[in-house]
Amino acid sequence: MLDRITHINSNNETLDFTSLGIFVNYNDLRNFEWIVKSNNNRITGFYKGIVKKTIPFVFLVADQQKANEIKNQFYEHFEIDILKKEKGYFEINGYKYYCYAIKSTKSKYLIDKRLLYLSVEITTDDSYWIKETTYTADFTSSSSRTVTKYPFTYPFTYSVQKTVNVVNDSFTDTDMIMRIYGRCTNPIINISDNTYQLYVTLNAEEYAEIDTFKKTITKYSSNGVRSNIFNSRNKSYDAFKKIPQGSFDITTVGVEKVDIVLIERRGEPRWD
């Protein structure tokens, strides 16, 4: 079965290729390569750098007028990312690949206006497939605690006050975005053997966000104003420690609601 591939550009517009009569029979989106760093003929590390990939498309549209509209839509959809200098992304099985389309070559379009063979070259400086899974831990109930996983919702109920359990099903430790919602003062979140604490007061409709990948801590006010509160962290602990692989507990002090967004980064999307 072919991968169902969609592309979302920087304007948040979606191209669902199959529904438009655009087919991708094969591609190298799943391919990856590490570049080896060395010193004196000894391997010292690995990196990926700027990566280019090629995706061949086949347009086979029944209506000639509609075919021309789709060709124009296809060009404009990708070109807007270049003009804005903002990456769009391909998506396969919930994994996103952020990139630019920098080259397009075409053939066989003179045979029939409803037919077009088109090859697109894409490039990126962050050649990972990224999947974000959000868990919401709700500690407001006096009798039980719940954690909800999105985009598919599975509620779990626990009898232990102020503690919930979450499973990171990645094969390795994972970066995360933690959102701590007000009202609370000097919130404390314990995950596994690490503590995340901020010396800050969050009012109703405010929240703080810790991003372990970007190494940022930000406060969002009720009207959307962002404040850098990097220095509000408790420096006795690692505020940017990744989430461990497997099952882990979330324990809180003085917090009613927390989002944990697990950010899985893979060289290829998981086969499904």
pLDDT digit string (tens) for the chain, length 272 residues: 467 899 999 999 999 998 999 998 788 999 999 999 999 999 999 999 999 999 999 998 888 889 999 999 999 999 999 999 999 999 999 999 999 999 999 998 888 888 999 999 999 999 999 999 999 998 876 444 555 565 544 444 333 346 888 999 999 999 999 999 999 999 999 998 999 999 999 999 999 999 999 999 999 999 989 999 999 999 999 999 999 999 999 999 889 999 999 999 999 999 98
Q: Is the dihedral of CA 91, 92, 96, 98 positive or negative?
A: negative
Confidence at residue 156, expressed as pLDDT on a 0 to 100 scale: 41
- Tokens standing for 160? 């232990």
Of 242, 198, 166, the C-alpha closest to 207 is 198
SS3 for 253? strand
* DSSP of 135-156: EEEE---SS-EEEEEESS---E
Q: Collapsing DSSP states into helix, strand and coil, what is residue 77?
A: helix
- Give the helix/strand (H/E) hosting 73: helix 64-84
For residue 13, give both structure tokens: 């517009």
| C-beta neighbour count of 166 within 10 angstroms | 19
DSSP state of 81: H
Please name every residue paired with 208 in a beta bridge, in sequence order, or none if there are none.
Answer: 180, 219
Q: How many residues does the chain have?
A: 272
- CA 93/CA 270 separation, integer angstroms: 8
Q: How far is CA 47 from CA 50, 90, 269, in A?
A: 10, 22, 19
Pairing outcome for strands 6-8 and 42-47: unpaired
Q: How many CA atoms lie within 13 A of 28 on its CB side?
A: 13
- pLDDT at residue 265, as a whole number: 97
Question: Concatenated DSSP letters for 224-235?
Answer: S-EEE-GGGB-T
| pTM for the structure as a whole | 0.87
CA 232/CA 201 separation, integer angstroms? 10
